[in-house]
Amino acid sequence: MSFLKVEKLCLCYGEDTPENRVLEDINISINEGEFVAIVGPSGCGKSTFMKLLSGLLKPLNGCMFMNDELINSPRANVGMAFQNSIMLPWRTTLQNLLLPLEVSPSTKKTFKKRKLEYIERAKQLLATVGLAGMEEKYPWELSGGMRQRASLCRALIHKPSLLLLDEPFGALDAFTKEELWCVLRDLWQQEKFTVVLVTHDLTEAVFLADKVLVMSARPGQIIKEAEIDFERPRDLEIRYKSKFVDTVHELRDQIKSARHSLLNKDAA
Ligand SMILES: Nc1ncnc2c1ncn2[C@@H]1O[C@H](COP(=O)(O)OP(=O)(O)O)[C@@H](O)[C@H]1O
Ligand SMILES: [Mg+2]
């Protein structure tokens, strides 16, 4: 049985006209604990798809299931992080991590009683991502990479079974980004959640994922599913192996042709 199932999903912004279609007939099946990356040309509907998966947006047609339950509103067992995840500047790193537990309907009633346990969990997560001892620092005292590490921890504080990541490392420099790939790899190996990661970085997708889905230009459709079967644990050296390089090239070609079809459509 698949953990996450998406069937015949369509979405329009506004009236249902062909021009307004953003996603068209998306069908996906994801197993529990799987790491899936979604790549595709800019504007093809990746972020829109993530909003649908998170339950924030309703589809025009089709449906999505998590553990056989219809996704039609935001769920407690989902964690999210984005490129510009905002940390509240007047709260310390630890307080920022605890915020979802303070406000979420499923944990806020017991927050006071369980606070010590939650603080322990937050500290343990921060240690896993290399931020031990940074609990009392304010976001503005952290580097961009450190803030993204902290937002990953915040997304995982409530032990979600699904982690949704929309270009979480898009704004980081190359070295910091590579460090963060390893941080995410280790968190995933330790906590065993399911991941859907949107990225425009094909190396990132192939390094981290079990499966890469390629989306066409708008209206987005899944045009290719590539199984990535490199052994785990993977380290950064794997990027220089010829099979890895070939896989990245194949995906790049797929996206190039998806972009071409977009440009031709625009020209017509
Ligand atoms: N709230 C919105 N209202 C109308 N159009 C939107 C809205 N959000 C996104 N779009 C359009 O939908 C398309 C897909 O956007 P998005 O999902 O952000 O793409 P991606 O994340 O793949 O770059 C784009 O053409 C974008 O301009
Ligand atoms: Mg986007």
What rounded mean pLDDT belongs to the chain? 94
Per the structure block, which two tokens stand in for 100?
A: 């979802």
Decide the pairing of beta strands 194-198 and 21-30: unpaired
Residue 15 Cα to ligand 1 midpoint, Å, equals: 14
| Percent of the residues in the chain that have a pLDDT greater than 70, as a whole number | 97
Which residue, chain included where needed, has tokens 């369980």? 114
Give the C-alpha separation, 146 to 29, whole Å: 33
User: Is the whole-model pTM more than 0.85?
Assistant: yes
Decide the pairing of beta strands 78-82 and 69-70: unpaired
| 49 CA: nearest ligand 1 atom | 17
Say if ligand 1 is within 6 A of residue 147 CB.
no
| 51 CA: nearest ligand 1 atom | 17
Mark the residues whose beta carbon lies below 5 A from ion ligand 2. Answer: 47
pLDDT of residue 128: 94
CA quadruple 260, 262, 264, 267: dihedral sign: negative
Average pLDDT over residues 151-163: 97
pLDDT digits (tens, 9 = 90+) for 223-267: 999 999 999 999 999 999 999 999 999 999 998 887 776 666 666
- Residues comprising the chain, all counted: 268
Task: Ligand 1 pocket test: pick from 11, 44, 48, 165 the residue with the most ligand atoms within 8 Å of its Cβ.
Answer: 48
pLDDT of residue 265: 65
Say if ligand 1 is within 6 A of residue 20 CB.
no
List helix spans (H) across 104-173.
Answer: 111-128, 144-156
| 44 CA: nearest ligand 1 atom | 22
Ligand nearest to the CA of 48: 1
pLDDT digits (tens, 9 = 90+) for 42-85: 999 999 999 999 999 999 999 999 999 999 999 999 999 988 87
Return the closest-CA partner of residue 181 out of 37, 32, 78, 49: 37
Q: Which residue lies with its CA nearest to atom 18 of ligand 1?
A: 47
Query: Is it true that the peptide bond before 18 is cis, omega within 30 degrees of 0?
Result: no
Return the closest-CA partner of residue 83 out of 55, 44, 50: 50
Say if ligand 1 is within 6 A of residue 42 CB.
yes
Return the closest-CA partner of residue 25 out of 11, 44, 14, 40: 11
pLDDT of residue 257: 84
Return the closest-CA partner of residue 75 out of 49, 52, 47: 52
What is the 8-class DSSP label of residue 162? Answer: E
Say if ligand 1 is within 6 A of residue 45 CB.
yes
